[in-house]
Amino acid sequence: MNSSDNPRSAFDPHVWVIDLDGVVWLGDHSIPGSAEAIRRLQDAGRAVVFATNNASMTPEAFETRLNGHGISSYGNVVTSAQAAATLVTAGERVYVIGEAGLIDAVSAAGAELVGGHDDGPIDAVVMGITRSFDYDMLRHATRSVLAGARLIASNTDTTFPASDGIDPGNGALVAAVETATGRRAEVAGKPHQAMAKLVASQWQGQGICVGDRPETDGDFAVELGYAFGLVFSGVTLEADLPVRPEPRIVAADLERLVESVLD
Ligand SMILES: [Mg+2]
């Protein structure tokens, strides 16, 4: 079939923004075919960007982890922690609830990190997923926000897929602070503007966002002006269709999605 026979062959995006959880891996397990599909895109000269709302790890740690799955990603990882760090300014006093990825990003932005027992004024509370979340953190965040600190969330994904089931996401932690304070967090990661700006400032051209979650990956595609490619290898199943926003392409997994565009 040549291009004049197949209208879909006109769709050949240059920038591929690929989600990690539920697309490349589930927990520690590679999703079969994803590494080969990514290599195929890279060999075909496409820009492959890895965009994750997981703020717990640094981009370098994600590169190492991707490498362990046979995927080369050097300089092409964007995290919601980096996006959240664009919402604080140098010199601000920031209480971070999160892990290494968020702590590194916020301190690299020049903010002063303050601990949970610091009594001084706090400019912002920045929240990302951490498995050590506890009542003391909730109390300090609540008091800081009630005293005037901005509430910033790396992301508000309610859950994320683990290899043995569904785990509560940062959205569940942020909801606790929002409930206690009556304030709404400013959200940095997919599908929000801070993360879109990070992508758009580094990669240009027609693009596609591939992900397993319409309300993050799909809306992120809309924010970037990209197509949305939905895969059923994560939290969304084919039985959940129709979804909003409407995907340009649906596929069982990344391997089949890439095949349907490149073949
Ligand atoms: Mg995902």
Q: What is the pLDDT of residue 160?
A: 79
Number of domains in the chain: 2
> Mean per-residue pLDDT for 161-173?
88
Whether 135 and 160 map to the same domain: the answer is: yes
Whether 206 and 165 map to the same domain: the answer is: no
Instruction: Give a yes or no: residue 65 inside a domain.
Output: no
| Distance (Å) of CA 137 to CA 12, 39, 85, 175 | 47, 42, 20, 13
Among 161, 187, 213, identify where a domain stops.
187
Domain that holds residue 44: 7-53+191-262
Among the listed residues 5, 12, 19, 119, the single catalytic one is 19
Among the listed residues 12, 21, 157, 164, the single catalytic one is 21
Whether 243 and 170 map to the same domain: the answer is: no
Over the stretch 208-261, which tens digit does the pLDDT of each residue have?
999 999 999 999 999 999 999 999 999 899 999 999 999 999 999 999 999 999
Whether 167 and 213 map to the same domain: the answer is: no
Whether 133 and 212 map to the same domain: the answer is: no
CA distance 19 to 212: 8
Nearest CA to 95 out of 129, 56, 123, 59 is that of: 123
Cα end-to-end distance, the chain, whole Å: 10
| Distance (Å) of CA 87 to CA 37, 49, 94, 113 | 34, 22, 11, 14
Pairing type for strands 15-18 and 207-211 reads parallel
Is residue 21 annotated as a catalytic residue, yes or no? yes
Among 143, 166, 187, identify where a domain stops.
187
Confidence of residue 35 (pLDDT cuts 50, 70, 90): very high
151 CA distance to ligand 1 middle (Å)? 24
Q: What is the DSSP string of 85-136?
A: HTTS-TT-EEEEES-HHHHHHHHHTTPEE--TT--S--SEEEE---TT--HH
Instruction: Give a yes or no: residue 74 inside a domain.
Output: no
Q: What is the pLDDT of residue 166?
A: 86
CA distance 122 to 137: 14
Whether 105 and 180 map to the same domain: the answer is: yes
Instruction: Give a yes or no: residue 211 inside a domain.
Output: yes
CATH number at residue 243: 3.40.50.1000
